[in-house]
Amino acid sequence: MDPERPDVKRHHGLVRAAHWLNAVFLLGMIASGLQIYLAFAHFGPRGQPYYPNPIDGPIPRWARLGGWLAGGLNWHFALAWPFVITGVVYLGFLAVSGEWRSLLFRPRDIGPAIQMQLYYLRLRKTHPPQGKHNALQKGAYTFIVLLGALSVLTGFAVYKPVQLSWLTALFGGYELARYWHFWAVWIFIAFTLLHVALVLLVDPASLRAMITGWYRGRFPSHG
């Protein structure tokens, strides 16, 4: 092993647990959501042209969880509890531990994010200095938390459109809230594919770090 690259403790156990639990719960939420979606695979009020929909066809059986509408609903509303609780515990940990500083994208990250992008586009030769995460990563990890919040809030807007009518109105009404809820799914899937590809191609050591907590890779500056 390389003495120049000592192992550093990178992820708290709570973060690792939240990461993998979230992966499982999100997968269950998406699969049961697609089962529910199948009952009415359109968006918008009846009697009017439906909203543009990239997945305007049947959802294959392997992508669904629940077997039928009631099964999908019961999975979805049961998994929603651990999904939300995991998210809240994770964000609470970031807030209390101060870890949020290395993850939250702030205005001062805009410049470094551009430099990072130039490096990826090979318009800049050297890798810009970075802490635990580079500015683009901060942007990605801030964005995905916001997307999670959006999916939860649009979920509640669709779940209780009368009792939470203010929330539903915030998203443009029931039909649009359901539409945004659905779009969040495709963005989650796209994010996950990119996320996994970047981990494997750019920094495979980060996969081990998210499993064991210990990191011995290219970007060890964070202790």
**Footprint of another protein (CB under 8 A):** 1, 7, 13, 24, 27-28, 31, 35-37, 39-40, 42, 45-47, 61-71, 73-75, 77-78, 81, 159-165, 174-175, 178, 211-214
Query: Minimum CB separation from another protein for residue 193, in Å?
Result: 16
Long-range contacts of 155-163 (CB under 8 A, 24+ apart): 155/80, 155/181, 157/181, 159/77
Q: Which is nearer to another protein, 159 or 191 (CB)?
A: 159
Backbone angles phi, psi at 32, to 5 degrees: -70, -35
Query: Minimum CB separation from another protein for residue 179, in Å?
Result: 11
Query: Minimum CB separation from another protein for residue 72, in Å?
Result: 9
Half-sphere exposure of 20 toward its Cβ, with a 13 Å CA cutoff?
13
Query: Minimum CB separation from another protein for residue 22, in Å?
Result: 13
Count, residues in the chain: 223
Q: Which is nearer to another protein, 82 or 112 (CB)?
A: 82
**Alpha carbon distances (Å) from 13 to 16, 44, 74, 202, 223:** 5, 43, 30, 23, 15
Q: Is the distance from CB of 221 to CB of 8 less than 8 angstroms? A: no
Query: Minimum CB separation from another protein for residue 165, in Å?
Result: 6
CA 220 to chain centre: 25
Q: Which is nearer to another protein, 37 or 180 (CB)?
A: 37
Q: Which is nearer to another protein, 20 or 120 (CB)?
A: 20
Q: Is the distance from CB of 206 to CB of 215 less than 8 angstroms? A: yes
Q: Which is nearer to another protein, 40 or 120 (CB)?
A: 40
